[in-house]
């Protein structure tokens, strides 16, 4: 888990460099708003983990030469590819880091939130995606997670939080930092 956390942190720090100031004091804003933002951040981290896990699953199945499982996975999810999973993971990371920045600026929590605050959600979702096994229930769970993540990323693009230029730039930086060749994906 430590290695995954280090990879998450390294990957996330490349995506959006921003400084989080730790300003102490009581939050004057509604606790409901804070909880909604925390939930959105946790969901973003979960989606990032899901797509990183999907990327790892595809990589492992290809490395093992497991064409049968790849065919089943792609039959259930025709658009899935390593490049797609990498892009969606990067989008979810960007979205999460933007939400965290907004939490810290708007609510000024005593202890500032960071990307590490949501590591558990990331790791749990990544492990679940990587552990996919061919089966109806597993396929349905993966499809539901994918739909939920697609929906929140689409909302973030539609409301202007994310845009293609920002995502493309972050993907390029992240791919260089992680040594991922996006051209062959």
Residues 6+ apart with CB under 8 A from 56: 126, 129, 130
Residue 30: pLDDT band (50, 70, 90) is: low
pLDDT at 165 over 70: yes
Whether 144 is covered by a domain: the verdict is: yes
- Domain of residue 47, residue span: 30-178
pLDDT at 22 over 70: no
Whether 91 is covered by a domain: the verdict is: yes
CA distance 59 to 184: 12
Whether 75 is covered by a domain: the verdict is: yes
Whether 185 is covered by a domain: the verdict is: no
Whether 93 is covered by a domain: the verdict is: yes
Whether 12 is covered by a domain: the verdict is: no
CA distance 123 to 54: 12
CA distance 51 to 96: 14
Structure tokens at 85: 């999973």
CB 41 within 8 A of CB 109: no
CB 53 within 8 A of CB 142: no
Whether 8 is covered by a domain: the verdict is: no
CA distance 173 to 19: 18
Backbone angles phi, psi at 92, to 5 degrees: -65, -35
CB 156 within 8 A of CB 162: yes
Q: How far apart are the first and last CA of the chain?
A: 26
The tens digit of pLDDT for each residue in 40-90 reads 999 999 999 999 999 999 999 999 999 999 999 988 898 899 999 999 999
- The pLDDT score that the predictor gives to residue 26 is 40
pLDDT at 17 over 90: no
CA 14 to chain centroid: 13
CB 167 within 8 A of CB 94: yes
Give the SS3 label for residue 102: helix
The tens digit of pLDDT for each residue in 96-145 reads 999 999 999 999 999 999 999 999 999 999 999 999 887 777 778 888 99
Whether 1 is covered by a domain: the verdict is: no
- The pLDDT score that the predictor gives to residue 32 is 72
Overall number of domains in the chain: 1
């Amino acid at each position: 888990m430590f290695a995954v956390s280090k990879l998450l942190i390294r990957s996330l720090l490349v995506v959006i460099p921003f400084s989080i100031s730790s300003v102490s004091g009581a939050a004057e804003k509604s606790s409901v708003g804070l909880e909604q933002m925390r939930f959105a951040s946790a969901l973003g981290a979960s989606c990032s983990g899901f797509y990183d896990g999907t990327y790892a699953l595809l990589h492992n199945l290809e490395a093992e030469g497991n064409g049968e499982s790849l065919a089943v996975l792609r039959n259930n999810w025709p658009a899935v590819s390593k490049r797609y999973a990498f892009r969606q993971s990067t989008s979810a990371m960007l979205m999460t880091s933007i939400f965290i920045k907004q939490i810290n600026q708007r609510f000024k929590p005593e202890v500032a939130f960071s990307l590490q605050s949501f590591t558990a959600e990331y790791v749990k979702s990544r492990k679940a995606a990587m552990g996919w096994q061919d089966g109806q229930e597993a396929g349905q769970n993966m499809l539901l997670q994918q739909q939920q993540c697609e929906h929140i990323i689409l909302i973030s693009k539609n409301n202007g939080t994310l845009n293609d230029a920002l995502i493309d730039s972050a993907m390029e930086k992240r791919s260089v930092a992680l040594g991922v060749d996006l051209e062959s994906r």
